[in-house]
Amino acid sequence: MTTRTVDTTQELAAFLRTRRERLDPEDFDLPARRQARRTPGLRREEVAELAGVSIDYIVRLEQARGLRPSAEVVEGLARALRLGRDERAYLFDLAQLRPRNADKPATTAAPPLGRLVADLSPLPAMVMNHRYDILAWNGGMARLLMDFDTLPPSQRNAIWLCLMYPKMRDFYVDRERVVREAIAHLRAAWAAHPEDQVLTDLIAEFINGDEEFARLWAGRDVKVNGRGRKVMRHPDVGSIAVHFETLTPLQDPDQLLVIYRAADDESQSALDRLSGR
């Protein structure tokens, strides 16, 4: 991958192709055609019919020939390809049809969010930006994950730590799922911030330095995962299962507040031991 920022025309073409190829023709009420299918998924003419556009238009979009589809066309494509909510938002971002945030990405936590993170103790909590840079954290999060103060700021990135930091390689029990979900979220952020050179460089570093990331990134999965469950292998207290919740402040929409809670009694006991209670 080059270090250019997002080429939305090329990415739109690739995304449309991958989503078309993932569809099962048997799930659609389409007229029977005599010729055998040489490739998986729907044909271009079938997508064109479902979306209400010409075949030539679909061909030109998939060949990245400089078209800028309207909101109506994007809506038709999203419906024809049966995109989920996050995939639909991603498609609108690639078509540059959603308003952009003119502010530069946050590199420090907004002071009220920093104070809130401290007040949430002993619940582990932290603030991240759309790049997964960790901007603020409390003692509970430091005890659960690691003391981020021991790292240079360039390494305080949740995905970088999971992929590149040796002590974190086996930290998550279901590592591939955690990485897959993070990459799907990161792809959505990449399309929403196409001029963010730092983010593009970070993704290039991951692609070139980690085969797992490169493989999952090529799948073009898109999902904004705001809540879920993770199971961790903590070196001091053993297995800890947590539920996480990700909140977006109205005043600072580029910053994400992440809060962990114990998923069961055993995990709560483990967190209590970490906090010295």
Across 231-236, average pLDDT: 95
Q: Decide if pLDDT at 273 tops 70.
A: yes
Question: Residue 83's closest CA among 153, 20, 13?
Answer: 20
CB 95 within 8 A of CB 68: yes
Q: Where are the alpha helices (DSSP H) in 69-195?
A: 71-80, 85-94, 111-119, 139-144, 158-164, 175-192
∠ CA 242-247-250, rounded to 5°: 170
Q: What is the pTM of this model?
A: 0.79
Where does the chain show beta strands of DSSP type E? 125-129, 134-137, 227-234, 238-247, 255-262
Q: Which residues contact 176 (CB under 8 A, 6 or more apart)?
A: 212
Sheet strand arrangement including 227-234 = 134-137, 125-129, 255-262, 238-247, 227-234
Asked whether residue 106 carries a pLDDT value surpassing 90, the answer given is no
Beta pairing partners, 228: 244
Which helix or strand (DSSP H or E) is residue 58 part of? helix 55-62
Whole-angstrom distance, CA of residue 135 vs CA of residue 100: 22
Counting residues of the chain whose pLDDT is more than 70, the rounded percentage is 93
Question: What is the pLDDT at residue 3?
Answer: 47
Rounded to whole angstroms, how far apart are CA atoms 130 and 262?
A: 25
Predicted confidence at residue 101, as pLDDT, reads 59
The pLDDT assigned to 2 comes to: 46
Half-sphere CA count of 228, side-chain side, radius 13 A: 12
The pLDDT score that the predictor gives to residue 146 is 93
In our burial notation (b when 16+ CB lie closer than 10 A, e otherwise), range 168-199 reads: beebbeeeeebbbbbbbbbbbbbbbbbebeeb
In this prediction, residues 175-200 reach a mean pLDDT of 91
Closest CA to 272 of 97, 143, 182, 176: 143
170 three-class SS: coil
For residue range 145-172, list pLDDT tens digits in order. 999 999 999 899 999 999 999 989 899 9
Residue 104 has pLDDT above 80, yes or no: no
Question: What's the confidence (pLDDT) of residue 193?
Answer: 87
Q: Would the pLDDT of 206 be above 80?
A: yes
Q: What is the pLDDT of the chain when averaged over all its residues?
A: 90
Cα 224–Cα 245–Cα 135 angle in degrees, nearest 5: 85
Q: What is the pLDDT of residue 99?
A: 64
Q: pLDDT digits over 114-151, tens only?
A: 999 999 999 999 999 999 999 999 999 999 999 999 99
Phi-psi region of 260 (alpha: psi -120 to 50; beta: other; left: phi over 0): beta
Q: State the CB neighbour count (10 A cutoff) for residue 88.
A: 18
Angle formed by the axes of helices 175-192 and 197-209, to 10°? Answer: 150
pLDDT tens sequence across 3-47: 456 788 999 999 999 999 999 888 887 765 655 667 778 999 999
For the stretch 58-90, pLDDT in tens is 999 999 987 889 999 999 999 999 999 889 989
